[in-house]
Structure 1
């Protein structure tokens, strides 16, 4: 009896070890398949998301991530609210707006520490532009109504004495449609991001009136640091799938750290060819201009979230009357652990 038991024991031991490790892995990732919604995936604003996907960082954390691209951040938010997306790669300020509406969502990774949004007027339809007052009654193109591009435009207008109702906002997306709308004269101004803005600049299609692609320019526009792209989700998701959220944070922090060291050519070689809009040199120029906007470690700064709230309240009287608990709009707990893992 002792002979067969002895021979079988090692096999059972190995099987037990394998089963234990497999079970531990399964327990670690409660929801291996995760859907992420994003509004304008090709934008430099969301480059960390693309890098994490293309370099296989999500997969190495045990995740199968499916990314759905929408015309703008407000559309991506709708996907989360409607239940067709688990997580959004989107602007931080949506967490504040949704708390005001009674839906708690929390940002858990900061992708960008400057919005990278540029507000510019058309040299075609407004060659004699002098001040914000000239925009009254004009058509302004944004990625999608309610998106971060719309938020930035509203804030710039408010500083110049105009209300959102004084202009007409038109959703034009973030790619070829926006380019065509500006060059054909369908819109008089635009709030959008790179690489689109740099392309319009190169052809002298626009005159820039507010730029947030660098930390210095962001400070000048908003009066403080302004958090930009994040990963955010519902408070319910974070509570139900904490290890899944941690895996997402791990992959994103790893991506941010890779971006700190990568050369422009390294980055160009990682992103899909379509991101280059047919102009590799332009995309490289975009990377060089906007590099400091990328968060180095995914951490939210307290003064930044305060700036975001003040920005929204500046043009939204309804929000100004709401009591917002900023501590519930973001968490640094997951990125703290991710940074300990990927130094």
Structure 2
């Protein structure tokens, strides 16, 4: 009997150990819709199904704060923008993207009711107060690249960090900024609420090509090279769940996607938010793969105004990997 009880105890201990969830800290750079596949995966319970215990931290001020957290070691994986991996390589830090969420920019430039900026006359942007999510963010890059392409500089405008979502829309509505560069849902809210008008739209492929000269990949999952090397099984589980979320999103309506989201992710009224998701659907990756051709566009943009990137010899092959996406089981989420 004693041997039986010892064996039983050992079996229970083994089962308990086997069932223990794998902890992982994931930080997200604001709840703009470029990052939508992450909360969809959360809402569908896909991370839990992979045996993960995910702790989430949201930086509403933008992706640059998420990057800081990753480099500082206070988070394991970041939901942020691909161009950060290029910046980090120019600073001799290895940060690797391993799942693509948004294959295109999703950014718009909107003008408030009193704005005098005319995109057909780029010089009319001089003196404008322009709202961006945060300094060093991709919305910041958007403005700087636009200015550079038209013979202007950041000294010709005032760049003001206003976050994203409803806070960003409020800044435009209250006249704290004249122009706003932001993502959905803010982009949709601006026109739905009659706050302003979208003047430049990079949500479509054609719009992105007009602004950047090509497709501009944005939201990805990235981690330090050391974390990926030390935790390949955890990274694979996160990748499995996220790619299944992308597959699920591709086969479901905007309404169904919103119904699956955690409540804290939804801002504004329900119908307008559904419309925002519908407007943003075209930017999402279908399979999580990172294109070696498309990532040349963020590099070109950064080189145009970022001195460290321009001076560095950037090896794009070291900024991303499709290794984990290639190993995702070919079974769509239910």
TM-score, length-normalised on structure 2? Answer: 0.91
Change (3 A) 1:337 1:84: same
2:179 is the alignment partner of 1:189: yes
2:270 is the alignment partner of 1:289: no
For 1:191, what is the secondary structure of its paired residue? strand
2:145 is matched with which residue?
A: 155
For 1:151, what is the secondary structure of its paired residue? helix
Structure (1/2) with the larger helix percentage: 1
Are the aligned partners of 2:248 and 2:332 in contact in 1 as well (CA < 8 Å)?
no
Change (3 A) 1:203 1:20: closer
For 2:41, what is the secondary structure of its paired residue? helix
Superposition deviation, residue 210 in structure 1: 2.4
1:205 is matched with which residue?
A: 195
Superposition deviation, residue 24 in structure 1: 6.8
1:83 is matched with which residue?
A: 73
Q: In 2, distance between residues paired with 1:213 and 1:337?
A: 30
2:57 corresponds to which of 68, 93, 115? 68
Change (3 A) 1:212 1:15: farther
For 2:176, what is the secondary structure of its paired residue? coil
Q: In 2, distance between residues paired with 1:279 and 1:24?
A: 43
2:303 is the alignment partner of 1:310: no
In structure 1, runs of 5+ residues without a counterpart are none
2:136 is matched with which residue?
A: 146
1:278 is matched with which residue?
A: 268
Change (3 A) 1:89 1:48: same
2:320 is the alignment partner of 1:320: no
Deviation per residue, 1:170-227 (Å, 9 max, x gap): 1101133212211121112111011111111224433433222122322232222221
Are the aligned partners of 2:86 and 2:309 in contact in 1 as well (CA < 8 Å)?
no
Q: In 2, distance between residues paired with 1:284 and 1:322?
A: 42
Are the aligned partners of 1:106 and 1:330 in contact in 2 as well (CA < 8 Å)?
yes
2:158 is matched with which residue?
A: 168
Are the aligned partners of 1:124 and 1:183 in contact in 2 as well (CA < 8 Å)?
no
In structure 2, runs of 5+ residues without a counterpart are none
Superposition deviation, residue 15 in structure 1: 8.0
For 1:333, what is the secondary structure of its paired residue? coil
Are the aligned partners of 2:118 and 2:124 in contact in 1 as well (CA < 8 Å)?
no
Correspondences of 1:93-108 after superposition (within 5 Å): 93-108=83-98
2:325 is the alignment partner of 1:335: yes
Deviation per residue, 1:258-302 (Å, 9 max, x gap): 101112221121123454433222122212222121100100011
RMSD value over aligned CA atoms? Answer: 2.5
For 1:112, what is the secondary structure of its paired residue? coil
Are the aligned partners of 2:91 and 2:308 in contact in 1 as well (CA < 8 Å)?
no
Are the aligned partners of 1:163 and 1:315 in contact in 2 as well (CA < 8 Å)?
no
Larger CA Rg, structure 1 vs 2: 1
2:225 is the alignment partner of 1:235: yes
TM-score, length-normalised on structure 1? Answer: 0.88
Superposition deviation, residue 46 in structure 1: 1.0
Are the aligned partners of 2:99 and 2:239 in contact in 1 as well (CA < 8 Å)?
yes
2:41 is the alignment partner of 1:52: yes
Q: In 2, distance between residues paired with 1:304 and 1:139?
A: 31
Q: In 2, distance between residues paired with 1:23 and 1:76?
A: 32
Change (3 A) 1:339 1:294: farther
Are the aligned partners of 1:156 and 1:210 in contact in 2 as well (CA < 8 Å)?
no
Change (3 A) 1:18 1:306: farther
Superposition deviation, residue 250 in structure 1: 0.6
